[in-house]
């Protein structure tokens, strides 16, 4: 059974937002926003190493290969890891708006078991925006980009100011990120689109 709570239904005053004119072009790889991100960081040996690509309109696609370190049951991906893959893909959508936003709510349906070695083909789309709230949805397919849907999610992201990270993150990592001599990497660590 699948469904969604009213918290994930856009209100009547919600609008379909415009893609930002400087959003990455369709087909462009978004790259990791932070090396230590569990979803996309290349500096996380057991992370998902998820690679997202801008799509047309308000869409992104991504791929994630399930490895042994991602197991829950023998030979199968852990559900929380799959939810992370959905969350990360949905999060990368906000680049298309050049908005800084964090996940407020994520509702996930697990429809098929996902074996180790599978490539999860993810697609996500922004459906609507209402004030600071961004409503989006995602699917993850196995057996190819046109394969059956194994997992899906609806999400609500909330736009925040960069202070959300600076004020709440542990000071060691915040200071390291803020002192990064690479200006683009410094900005992206806080999910600010360069
Ligand atoms: C490229 C980037 C990839 C990143 C991918 C990964 C993304 C993530 O995982 S981010 C990390 C996980 N998320 C977090 O840590 C967020 C933790 N939560 C918070 O910091 C806060 O609760 C936060 C910022 C979401 C909202 O707090 P605050 O800014 O005070 O806003 P608040 O006034 O409570 O809510 C704003 C609106 O959102 C709604 N809202 C907030 N949370 C929820 C929720 N869980 N469910 C439904 N509605 C919600 C509120 O009802 C309110 O609606 P309205 O404007 O209609 O009154």
Q: ipTM of the predicted structure?
A: 0.97
In degrees and rounded to multiples of 5, residue 135 shows phi and psi of: -100, 130
User: In ligand 1, which atom is closest to the CA atom of 7?
Assistant: 47
Residues 144-189: tens digit of each pLDDT: 999 999 999 999 999 999 999 999 999 999 999 888 888 777 878 8
Q: Read off the pTM.
A: 0.96
> What pLDDT is attached to residue 188?
80
User: In ligand 1, which atom is closest to the CA atom of 30?
Assistant: 1
Q: Where are the domains of the chain?
A: 28-160
Q: Are 40 and 48 in contact (CB under 8 A)?
A: yes
Ligand 1 environment, Cβ below 6 A: 7, 33, 39, 87-88, 91-92, 102-105, 131-133, 156, 158, 160, 191
| DSSP string computed for the chain | -----GGGSPPTT-BPPPPPTTSPPTT-B---S-TT-TTT-TT-TTS---EEEE-STTEEEEEEE--GGGBSSTTBB-HHHHHHHHHHHHHHHGGGTT--EEEEEEEEEE-S--BTTPEEEEEEEEEEEETTEEEEEEEEESSSTTS-EEEEEEEEEEE--THHHHHHS-HHHHHHHHT-S-HHHHHHHTT---
Q: Are 130 and 10 in contact (CB under 8 A)?
A: yes
| Residue in the structure block whose two tokens are 């360069």 | 194
> What pLDDT is attached to residue 194?
45
User: In ligand 1, which atom is closest to the CA atom of 101?
Assistant: 10
What does CATH list as the number for 28-160?
3.10.129.10
Residues 62-106: tens digit of each pLDDT: 999 999 999 999 999 999 999 999 999 999 999 999 999 999 999
């Amino acid at each position: 059974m699948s469904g969604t709570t009213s918290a994930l239904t856009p209100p009547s005053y919600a609008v379909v937002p415009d893609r930002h004119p400087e959003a990455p072009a369709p087909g462009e790889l978004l790259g990791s926003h932070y090396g230590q991100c569990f979803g996309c960081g290349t500096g996380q040996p057991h992370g998902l190493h998820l690679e997202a690509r801008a799509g047309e309109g308000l869409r992104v696609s991504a791929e994630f290969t399930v490895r042994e370190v991602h197991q829950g049951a023998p030979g199968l991906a852990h559900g929380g890891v799959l939810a992370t893959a959905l969350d990360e893909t949905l999060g990368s959508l906000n680049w298309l708006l050049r908005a800084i936003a964090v996940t407020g709510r994520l509702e996930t349906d697990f429809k098929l078991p996902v074996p180790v070695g599978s490539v999860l083909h993810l697609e996500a789309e922004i459906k609507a925006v209402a004030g600071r709230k961004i409503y989006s949805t995602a699917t993850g397919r196995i057996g190819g980009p046109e394969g059956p849907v194994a997992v899906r999610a609806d999400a609500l992201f909330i736009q925040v100011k960069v202070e959300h990270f600076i004020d709440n993150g542990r000071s060691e990592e915040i200071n390291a990120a803020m002192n990064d001599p690479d200006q683009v990497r410094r900005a992206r660590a806080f999910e600010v689109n360069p």
